[in-house]
Structures are given as C-alpha cells and as structure tokens.
Chain A
Amino acid sequence: MAATAGNLAALCSRALRAGEGSVIGGRVLLAIDPHALSRLGAGRDIAVVSGTNGKTTTTRLLATAAAAGGRQILTNSTGANLASGLAATLSGDPRSAEAVLEVDEGLVPAAVEALRPRLAVLLNLSRDQLDRAGEVRMHAARWRSALGRSPATEVVANVDDPLVSWAAEGAGNTVTWVGTGQRWRLDATTCPSCSGRIEWRRALEAPSTDLARHDGDVWACQGCGRKRPVPGWVLLDGALRGPDAAVLPLDLRLPGWANRANAAMAVAAASRLGVAPRAALAAIASVADVAGRYAEVPVNGAVARLLLAKNPAGWAEVLDVIGPPPRPVVIGINARIADGRDPSWLWDVPFERLAGRDVTATGERVLDLAVRLRYAGVDHTVVPGARGAIARAAGMARTAQGTEGEFDVAANYTAFCDLRKALR
C-alpha cells in the first residue's frame, strides 16, 4: 500500500514536470512507513556506494557490470542518494533481488543499519559543502562505527585515502583494498586515529617487504604507526592489476584518472559480487556518459562536453580533463544549498592551469569566480546567464576550430544543471 502511494506520487510529480519523480515518491513512502527502507532491503543483495567524489559514476559502472550477466539490478541512476531516493529505487520492481545504490556520505550509517548491505564500496572523503556537512573526518568516524555494527557487510575500500582506510579497517568486516593512486591528499594530512602526521613516500623507496608489488605511493602515520594496507587491486599507469596478477588495461570511454579510479573500484566490487573482472571491465568500458556528465551535446554548430566538479578534489581532476587551447571552456559556479553556500573553496582550486585558454565565467556566483580567476592570472569573459555563456563559447569554438568545434563546460552541481538545461 505504501509503495503504491509512493509510486502514485512519483507519477504525479513526473506528470507535472516537477522533478525526476523518484524523490517525492520515496518521501511519501517513508512518511507512510518509516521502516520502509529495512522492509524493502530485506531479502535483497545490496551494494552501497559512497564517497565525496565519483559516487554516481561508480554506482553506474558497478550496476552496469553486475547487469552484464543478465541479472536484474535496481539502481538510483539519477543520483537521488538520500533516504527518499533509496526507498523509491527499491520499491521499483519487487522481483529484482539485487540493488546497487549510491548513498550520500551522511546517510551511510542509516543506510547500513536499515539495509544490511552485502557490500559497501567506499571511494574517498574530502572537503565538500563544509557549511552544512561539518568536518570531513566526522564522516570517517561515523562510517567506521556503522560498519562495526554490521559485521556481515563486506567492504571494498580505497587504500590510498587514509580516512577511508581507517573507516574500513575498524571492525571485523572483510575488506578488499584497492590502490587507486588517489592524488588529493590535503584532507588526510593527520591520522584520524591519533592525530599524528601522515607521511607519503614512493613505494619503491619503501622497504620491499612492505609490498607484494610495485604499486605507487605508500603512507604511514608518524604517530601511531598505522600504515597503508597492502592492496589486492592496484591501478597504476592506466592498467588495473588484480589479485590473480592479471593486468587489465583500462581503455574507458569516460575520460581522466578519476574515472579510471572509479572503474578500478567498480571492477573490484563486481568481482565480490561474482562477476569475472574481464567481463565487468568490458561492460564498464562502454559507458560513455553518466547522468549528463561527460555527455557531448551539439549546440550552435559546435559541440559542448559537460563536466561536473563540486569541490577542490573534483576540480583538480576536471582541470586535467579539460582540453588544451584553442578549445574554449565555460566555468559555471553557483552556491545554492545543494552546492554549499560558501564558495571559499574556489581558492583551493588550481584555476591557474586555465591560463592561456578562452574562458567564459558564468553562474550565480560568477563575481566570486571572476575575482578568483583574476588572481589566478586567467583572462576571462563574464557572462552571468547560462544560455549566453554557452552561445559565447560555441561561437569561440567555431571561430577557432570551424564547424563541429569542441568546447568544455565545467560546473558545480546546480550550475551544471542550469547549463545542461541551456543545452537542450
């Protein structure tokens, strides 16, 4: 009955074009039955995916890999990762016994408690929306205690994030460690356990007995001696090495290191769900865009590629993906509640790397962005509205590269939604 009411509300929402539908349906469902999540999760094999960056993409990759063998997988593909979104997703098809769910960092304890997932895939933790989310290591502590209370939940964790590793290793859970070679280290400079300083060094300079193989950098706490566990999976030089010593080249349609890391996590997780790594990777490699991210959209005789980055760690990766000149770029910044109301983080983003490009600055916080770009030494043109910004960049792309000229559109969450709408 509750599920039917929820589905009806979702139908109304879609009919009224008020939203994607799933969230309101889930809200109605949870209002009628507060225990809907545990009820819907019961008897299902569930994998939850969480972290600051890469949640939506990794969820999509893991769901794609798990479905490749013909299995029916429920998944919240639109990024509705709060309780209402999870409830709506799980009430979708009663016959599906498996689900891959993206879960907001703050909801992980409640989701683990209610769903008792078979697998928890923990990606990374870094500064994001600190005005409402609080301190980064608070999430790590809450993840750690939640997993301790669900000992049957297996964990797949990024060993190169010291906060995630601490959260994963706390209890007796079985952990599969993945060495992603994560590059953002600024939020884990001190040990979450003892507050000692964490130091990194090249693995090859480390005592060779520490490691089964050459696998990137290692970290260790100078206070309590906690150190990077030896990973079973390692992403290095664009290839993924698995526990059986096989080397799988990651030839993905999605661009950049961050997506190779997402794919590495997804392949390791899929293998825990019984999907052979090569089959998982074949399915993952074909994914071309994820909820609009990385989509290439024709506009005004040019082609826009959409990139989403919500915080400094995400922007550092997106700036790597943005093409070189003469490819123009649009940068869009908002600061609504979903983005975090405080754009101080713009000063943690190495926008200096955009120098020499044609940059159009846009979004509701374009004035903050413009000041940041001036101090970064990046010439730019301010166009506050999304449509105007797209039109300007498309024109510059055609001028520089002819018709079908390409440009990048990189934005934080609600600015991304505005720019995506402007491209329709």
Chain B
Amino acid sequence: MTRRDSAVTVALLYPELLGTYGDGGNATVLARRLRWRDIPADVVEVPSGTPPPRQADIYLLGGGEDGPMALAVGELAASGTLGGAIADGAVVLAVCAGFQLMGEEFAAADGSAQAGLGLAPWRSARGHGRRHVGEVVVEPDPALGLPLLTGYENHQGVTVLGPGGRPLGRVVVGLGNHDDADPVDGAIHGRVLGTYLHGPVLARNPALADRLLSWVVGPLGPLPPLDDRDVEALRSARLAEARRAGRAARVMRRLARC
C-alpha cells in the first residue's frame, strides 16, 4: 500500500444543528480507522454560519430537529459548495435529517413541503403512521459487498426514492424509509449514501465505514484489517436483540389483524 501525500479530510457539517444522536461519532470512527492504518486524517468541524470547505474528501450530515434542519438547509443552499464537491467525486454520508435534506423536498416544522438541496433524487414528507423508533437491521445492496447493517432509527419522516436512487438495502427488522410491505432503508446515489440508521451508524458498522474510506483511498490498494473484536461482539448482541424485537413485532402485527 502506497502513501497518500495529503491527509484525508472529513468535514462534519454543522454539528450543532445536525448532531442530535451522537452523529459526530461517524467523524471519530472514520478518522480513527484511517490513523490506525497510518493514513493521516483531518476532521474539520464546520459550525453553522461558516461555508463548508470545497476540498473535503468526505462530508457528513447528521440528524437534527425541524428548526435546526431548516437553518442548515438554508445555509448549505446559499453556499452551494456541496454540489460542486459531489460533482468532483466527494463522498457524502447523510443520516436521518441529513438524508432528507439532500433530496428534492422534506417536511418543514409545520408539515408543509420545503425544498431540499436537490442533490439527490428522493423526496421526504411527514409520515402519517406511528413514529419509527427502534432497532433496525438492513441487508445491504449486494453490490456493496457488506455484512448486515445494524442501527437504531427514530424519525417521523418518510422518504420515497425517485429514478437514479437505489435503496441502501432491504429492511429485515424495523421500518426504514417508509412503512411498506417490502421495506427498504436509505439510498445510494453515486457516492452519496443516505440512511435512517441514525447517529453513529459507522460505529456499529465498521465495514460500511471502510467502504466509504475505500472510495477515497481506493488507489492505495485494499485497507488492511483492524482488530474489531469489540465491535463484532457488539454487532452480535445488537443483531440478536433486533431479531428478538422483530419477531415480537411480527407477532403483534398478526394479532392486530385477527
């Protein structure tokens, strides 16, 4: 594996607006996994009121409440840098509110449709069913070559993908993008990856973290493995718990139909 001249730059966008569920953890995970492999990494926290940097390798957008989300969209739209960076091949991980605001539209605080950044082909709205809260297991798109994704969701919004956006994966446990007979979660559009697995999704899914990193440092060759035994133990526990919860939820739904 050859060395990269410059550090990989991870831009954490507006953490005080889009950081409700420990979303900053994703920046920590990406930077540590690079440094543990002797690849230099910089995390740039971009506070609200500051335009995002144009040259970052990975942009992170997290979850936020309605008011802060609206402010974030306004600032990102005004700066325009994110669209240019994506055109140049930057990677974007957009979680929860961040996932919604990358798309064409989403629900404002009063429920009305508000324009998103329009950088990805999906639309979000406020769901009319129950709030999506609980453990989630997603079987990722086979093209990603990843093991099961484990996470937690907590959102009222629902998202429908348009042409050019394919789901991140099929929901095995939980609700994902919307309450559906055949539910899916998240979306992939080029190097923009969106998901409702909220907060520090990369902490529980190191293979997903490494997939994003490989999009950036790919020319250096495959990333050497890390000692992830503690994460593997956590993953086993969460996947087992989610399957139990999933079975219970299916029984409850069946009983409700009786």
Contact = CB atoms under 8 A, between A and B. Distances in A.
Interface in A339-388: 341-342, 344-348, 367-368, 370-372, 374-376
Contacts of B200: 344, 346-347
A197 B14 CA distance: 12
Contact of B230 (A135, A195, A374): A374
A342 B21 contact: yes
B32 interface: yes
Contacts of A368: 234
A342 B65 contact: no
B234 A371 contact: yes
Contacts of A196: 71
Q: Is the interface of B mostly helix, strand, loop or mixed?
A: mixed
A346 B231 contact: no
A347 B68 contact: no
Given A197-B48, A375-B29, A344 B199 contact: yes
Interface in A129-188: 130-132, 135-137, 185-186
B151 to A, nearest CB: 9
A52 interface: no
B234 A344 contact: no
B22 A197 contact: no
B17 interface: yes
Contact of B19 (A130, A135, A136, A186): A186
Interface string B36-80: 000000000000110000000000000001111011000000000
Contacts of B203: 347, 371-372, 375
B48 A367 contact: no
B178 interface: no
Contacts of A137: 65, 67
Nearest to B245: A341
A136 B65 contact: yes
Contacts of B67: 137, 190-192, 195
A271 interface: no
A121 B231 CA distance: 43
Contacts of A376: 28
A195 B68 CA distance: 7
A127 B152 contact: no
B199 A135 contact: no
Q: Which 9 A-B pairs give the minimum distances between C-beta atoms?
A: A347-B22, A347-B25, A344-B199, A195-B67, A367-B234, A189-B16, A344-B21, A347-B200, A344-B22
Given A342-B154, A344-B198, 11 more contacts: A127-B20, A135-B65, A190-B17, A192-B67, A312-B22, A342-B152, A345-B21, A346-B22, A346-B200, A347-B199, A347-B203
5 contacts: A192-B67, A195-B68, A348-B19, A371-B203, A372-B25
